[in-house]
Amino acid sequence: MKQVILKVKLKDPDAFEQKLSDIDYDFSPVYWQHDRVYVPRGFKHATNLPRLTMRTEMRAIDEPAHYYLMLRRHIEDSGVDVVEKTTITDYENMVNIILQLGFKPIGEAARRRQEIDMGDGTFIYLDRVDGEETSTAYAKIESILKDGESASEAYEDLKKTFATFGETDIIETPYGEQ
């Protein structure tokens, strides 16, 4: 799946949430995610090499955790992210496979996440990332590209969306690498 993703550091997450609520968009209940990010040897930013992320996700305390392997490649010259997500049943074995393939861990991040499905393949996430000086809040929009849709136009539309909410502090690096 090809996506355009834009993330901003929020000045006031409660005000951002209220603005969306005022136009009849409400976030889902909070759920927890933890990501461990792995890159191939020789990885350098802006080289189109893939990142693998092992994600643990808990939607409710009375349900078991879910585990996913996510492959993400950011194609620099097009601004497109290619993302594939696979459910994993044995987390420990999958991590061993990733390491044996020559990937190395470069970071991890835990967050409490809420989401809004805007329809038409667009999602807004409100992430409160743990482990930083304080729990820092970010908003992220992911938009699935349709055939023939321009990534640069989609990116500019996402920037305009955030600008209408007064949010312009764009963050390019993944949470685990900041």
pLDDT at 117 exceeding the cut of 60 = yes
pLDDT at 178 exceeding the cut of 60 = no
pTM of the model: 0.87
Written as six digits, the tokens of 3 are 């996506």
Domain containing residue 58: 2-177
Residues 62-102 pLDDT 10s? 999 999 999 988 776 666 788 899 999 999 999 999 999 99
Our count of domains for the chain comes to 1
Given this model, what pLDDT does residue 76 score? Answer: 67
Say which CATH number the domain at 57 has: 2.40.320.10
Q: Once rounded to an integer, what is the mean pLDDT over residues 124-139?
A: 83
DSSP, collapsed to helix, strand or coil, labels residue 90 as coil
What residues contact 136, with CB distance under 8 A and at least 6 apart? 9, 128, 129
| Number of residues written out for the chain | 178
Question: Please, what is the Cα angle at 29 between 26 and 30, to 5 degrees?
Answer: 120
DSSP, collapsed to helix, strand or coil, labels residue 54 as strand
Structure confidence at residue 150 as a pLDDT band (50, 70, 90) = confident
Given this model, what pLDDT does residue 22 score? Answer: 94
Instruction: Tell me the one-letter amino acid at 66.
Output: H
Given this model, what pLDDT does residue 159 score? Answer: 92
